[in-house]
Amino acid sequence: MKITRLGDVQSRARRVAVGFFDGVHLGHREVIRGSDSVLTFDPHPSTVVAPQHTPKLLTALDVKAELVEALGVKELIVIGFDADFAKRSAQEFMDDVLVGSLGATHVSVGENFRFGNRAKGDPRMLAEDERFSTRVATLLEVEGEIVSSSHIRGLVLAGEVEQAARFLGAPFQMRGEVLHGDERGRELGFPTANLIPDDALVCPGHGVYACLADGLPAAVNIGVRPTFDTGRGELVEAHILDFDGDLYGRQLRLDFLSRLRGERRFQSAEELVEQMRRDVERAREITTAYTS
């Protein structure tokens, strides 16, 4: 898939889906369906127009691009959203971007999509423009609940990764570089690959999770390790089952399948080790069932 900044785009007939598409969840996939191009924004528009309301995101731009590509889209067009772009009226967005730059013949948006200065543009305004056809995807419901990025963010923050996966259409994923830690896990017999959460992205709530780490079964702890007075901040520690390789400096992808338990303080290292053994076996059962 080709990734193009708006200023470098070549005008051609396009069937384009427009939106921020954080997480590329099931509702987004319905908006994107049938489009050969996706138009998105980076950074999130709220960082410019309402920075106090900027959410932590489900996906960084590179991950969003991978998810969009998997839907068969040929081109991802990225608008560098800044104060100047935010001043454009809804009509200018249609004239200059959709028609002028993109040559859109078909535009697909969600029913809650808003655009232009002060968000005055809406799907009805798009539908009234005869230069392109407009498709408006209604909000998708799963199990009686509206699928939205904001709701999924709340689920992930609460540790409800299984429910989040139902709305995303795939497990919530986190990526990061494996860093050196204090090797406490290795001392306890459970070596871990350590990641520091990106402050701009959503991180699952503190606790222990069954995950796939680059496709391998793993038990992952997120928290501050209350049993030990380490002085460290929030940390993601992935114990990859039956693995003893060197991962330092590598990018690791974690797919969150299920929350095993919350974060706890143990009276002794021995009590913690016993619980870790149970966590590992439960993680093995869950990941085996998921991959088989």
Condensed to tens digits (0 to 9), the pLDDT of residues 210-220 reads 999 999 999 99
Active site residue 237: yes
Whether residue 177 sits in one domain with residue 79: no
User: In this structure, is residue 273 part of a structural domain?
Assistant: yes
Say if residue 90 is in the same domain as residue 196.
no
- Predicted pLDDT at 189: 66
Q: Identity (one letter) of the amino acid at 217?
A: P
Catalytic residue among 66, 160, 187, 237: 237
Q: Which of 97, 128, 145 is the last residue of a domain?
A: 145
Is the same domain home to 237 and 138? no
Residue 47 backbone dihedrals phi, psi, to 5 degrees: -65, -25
Least confident of 109-123, 128-142, 267-281: 267-281
In a domain, 151, yes or no: no
The tokens of 256 are what? Answer: 């969150």
Q: Are residues 135 and 190 in the same domain?
A: no
Contact assessment for residue 171 and residue 224, using Cβ atoms and an 8 Å cutoff: no
Q: Last residue of a domain, which of 127, 145, 163?
A: 145
Higher pLDDT pick, 221 / 230: 221
Tokens 């060197």 -> residue: 246
Q: What is the pLDDT of residue 245?
A: 85
Q: Do 180 and 80 lie in a common domain?
A: no
Q: Which domain holds residue 204?
A: 171-291
Average pLDDT value for the chain: 93
Q: Is 47 part of a structural domain of the chain?
A: yes
Which of 111, 145, 179 represents a domain boundary (last residue)?
145
| Residue 224 in domain | yes
Number of domain units in the chain: 2
Q: Are residues 175 and 279 in the same domain?
A: yes
CB 220 within 8 A of CB 211: yes
Residue 57 has what DSSP assignment? B
Residues 56 and 100 in one domain: yes
Residue 256 lies in a domain: yes
**What values do phi and psi take at 274, rounded to 5?**
-60, -40
Extract the tokens encoding 111: 């029913």
pTM (2 decimals)? 0.92
Q: Are residues 84 and 211 in the same domain?
A: no
Are 102 and 207 members of one domain? no
Q: In this predicted structure, what is the pLDDT of residue 230?
A: 47
Q: What CATH number should be reported for the domain holding residue 68? A: 3.40.50.620
What's the pLDDT score for residue 263? 87
Whole-angstrom distance, CA of residue 164 vs CA of residue 209: 14
Judgement on whether residues 138 and 19 belong to the same structural domain of the protein = yes
The pair of structure tokens assigned to 53 is: 């309301």
pLDDT tens digits, residue range 18-65?
999 999 999 999 999 999 999 999 999 999 999 999 999 999 999 999
Q: How does pLDDT run across 246-292, given as a tens digit for each residue?
A: 899 999 999 999 999 998 888 888 888 999 999 999 999 999 999 98
In a domain, 157, yes or no: no
Q: Can you give the pLDDT at residue 250?
A: 95
pLDDT given at position 227:
47
Same structural domain, 199 and 129:
no
Q: How is 156-188 classified by DSSP, letter by letter?
A: HHTT-HHHHHHHHTS-EEEEEE-B----HHHHT
Per-residue pLDDT at 140 exceeds 90: yes
How many residues in total does the chain contain? 292
Indicate whether 155 belongs to any domain. Answer: no
Question: 161 pLDDT exceeds 90?
Answer: yes
pLDDT for residue 233 is more than 80? no
192 and 102 in one domain? no
Q: What CATH code is carried by the domain that includes residue 241?
A: 2.40.30.30
